[in-house]
Amino acid sequence: MSIRNILLVLLFGGVTGTLLLREQQRGTLEPFDRAHREFLKANPDSSESHRPVPSPTVVLARMDDIDQPNKVFAGWPLTPADYEIILQGLPGYEPKTVALSAPLPAGSPLPALESAAKGVPGLLVSVQTSAIAGDGAKDLPLGLPVLTVRGSIAAVPVFASLNLAALPGIAGVERIDFAPTECRLTVDGDTCRVPMLARMGEKVVPSLALRALMQWAQVSPDALKIQMGVAITGGTRLRIPIDEGGFFRYYLSLAPQVPSVNVDEFVLTRPAPGAPPAPGTPATTAAEKTKGSLLWVGDDDKASRRFKLPNGSPVSPAELTARAIAAIQTGAFMLPLDYRQQWLPPAAALLFCLWFPHWRKTWLWLGATLLAAASLYLYRARQEWMPIGPSLGIIAANTLLAFILPPVPRRGKPANIPGARTRTRTRTRQQSAATNPGPTPVPAKDAPRLGPAQALDPCTDPIIAKHKSSPSHKPNSGRKKKKKKHRR
């Protein structure tokens, strides 16, 4: 391939790949990407195809009383007296772990609220944190453990002050007020990022979601192994892949849906601890869902649904966190390829486009097959998804360009151009005639000049006729006669 064609392929493929990669990150290619991820999910490894997928044990308890026509609670947000009523009705539904992600009132624990909280097993409460130093205390409480971390913690969300909730329980960071967007829970197309770690200075603490998973898996803080940019592991039941900032990323289209109940059920129908609820009532359905589960209690009113799913429906942070916990419990998640490595497949496709015009332009299927095989291998080996939409666009665009550019001839063979073979043969005959012209006949002085058509006729050419009529002319003079052997 000439230098001009190489530069054209690099320029055309580079511009096409850059535009497609940008549109892929913006979510324009989401229908194709979703179909690709569904294809990878339907083709697991042989060792995983026979393993049953466990069902999630997390249940979302929705707090949306402000949007209901028949309000149960007196005001919004809920008061400590409202939380006391909720906690008094929870033990009858027998949840394994209860996490209160809703913003709780700060202050010293109230006696009635403290006695109600002691009856709930494995109660976790959120700690109010802020990025401003003057909004609360500057020291970590005893109930918030400091974790041992390997790697850089510069990208971990940081808070400068905190306020303990007026409710005793296992503490965890749920939200950092006045923090930048990159330090919070975010939704980008089909990808959701949920924070698992936070830090105050150089001290890294767990989030409320991580504390709930630790409580569900029965893993102590000392047993956690945290490698920034790799994963959080604890025993054999807990493995959470994280990025450099301690965020767990998952795809909403692949995460399982979580069952939900309304918090009003814990107030209106409160069975006694150990006694089953009355059959045929909404409490029966709620008890079947919450028994032995991880109950995630959070705000789910219209004001809290500030995020949008790919289909346009609004969703709250409480539901997104619950779905993240369900994805971690079941292992039904797929990690996107790191953004610093997403340019590698388009670069490989561009190099492939420099090679395949030397051979056959119809080998588009070969590049597409290699990309699909590489993405399938990466998913089976590392549970990561490699976007192939921009790479396929580069191959298709350069295939069209290869049909426009002149073909490259092979070694020892002329280029496959219409009329090129005829011109080559004519040029070869002319060159051989110029190299070996042969004997030039000398016409006689008295021979008449004839036209070109008559000169080619041996019957009318006087030179050829004179040569044949001479006695020295012998037709077979050039052949060697074999000597006959006579017997004596």
Token pair belonging to 162: 């905190």
Placement of tokens 């996107």 in the chain: 336
d(CA 458, CA 465): 7
Instruction: Say what the pLDDT of residue 356 is.
Output: 59
Task: Report the distance separating Cα 388 and Cα 396, nearest Å.
Answer: 12
Buried b (16+ CB within 10 A) or exposed e, 51-63: eeeeebbbbbbbb
Of the ranges 118-127, 340-349, 409-418, which is most confident?
118-127
pLDDT band at 364 (very low <50, low <70, confident <90, very high): low
pLDDT of residue 51: 42
Average pLDDT, the chain: 77
The pLDDT of residue 47 is above 70: no
The strand pairing partners of 226, in sequence order, are 149, 232
pLDDT of residue 6: 77
pLDDT for the residue 307: 93
DSSP assignment of 342-380 equals TTHHHHHHHHHHHHGGGT-TTTHHHHHHHHHHHHHHHHH
The 3-state secondary structure of 389-433 reads: HHHHHHHHHHHHHHHHCCCCCCCCCCCCCCCHHHHHHHHHHHHHH
CA–CA gap between residue 61 and residue 319 (Å, rounded): 9
Dihedral sign for Cα atoms in the order 357, 358, 360, 365: negative
Answering whether pTM is above 0.75, one says: no
Q: Closest Cα to residue 100, out of 117, 76, 114, 119?
A: 117
pLDDT of 5 over the 50 cut: yes
CA distances 93 to 56, 167, 212, 291, 441, Å, are 18, 20, 18, 6, 120
211's CB contacts (< 8 A; 6+ apart) are 99, 124, 170, 171, 172
DSSP 8-state symbol, 257? P
User: Comparing C-alpha atoms, which of 343, 370, 296 is closest to residue 126?
Assistant: 296
- Can you tell me the distance from the alpha carbon of 192 to that of 314, in angstroms, rounded to the nearest whole number? 14
Tell me, what's the pLDDT at 49?
42
Q: Would you place residue 148 in the very low, low, confident or very high pLDDT band (cuts 50, 70, 90)?
A: very high
- Looking at per-residue pLDDT, the higher value among 23 and 447 belongs to 23
Q: What's the burial of 127, exposed, middle or buried (CB within 10 Å: 0-12/13-18/19+)?
A: buried
What's the rounded mean pLDDT across residues 285-299? Answer: 86
Express each pLDDT in 295-346 by its tens digit: 999 999 998 999 998 788 899 999 999 999 998 888 767 776 776 777 888 8
pLDDT digits (tens, 9 = 90+) for 441-476: 555 555 555 555 554 455 555 555 555 555 555 555
Closest of 288, 171, 274 to residue 221, by C-alpha: 171
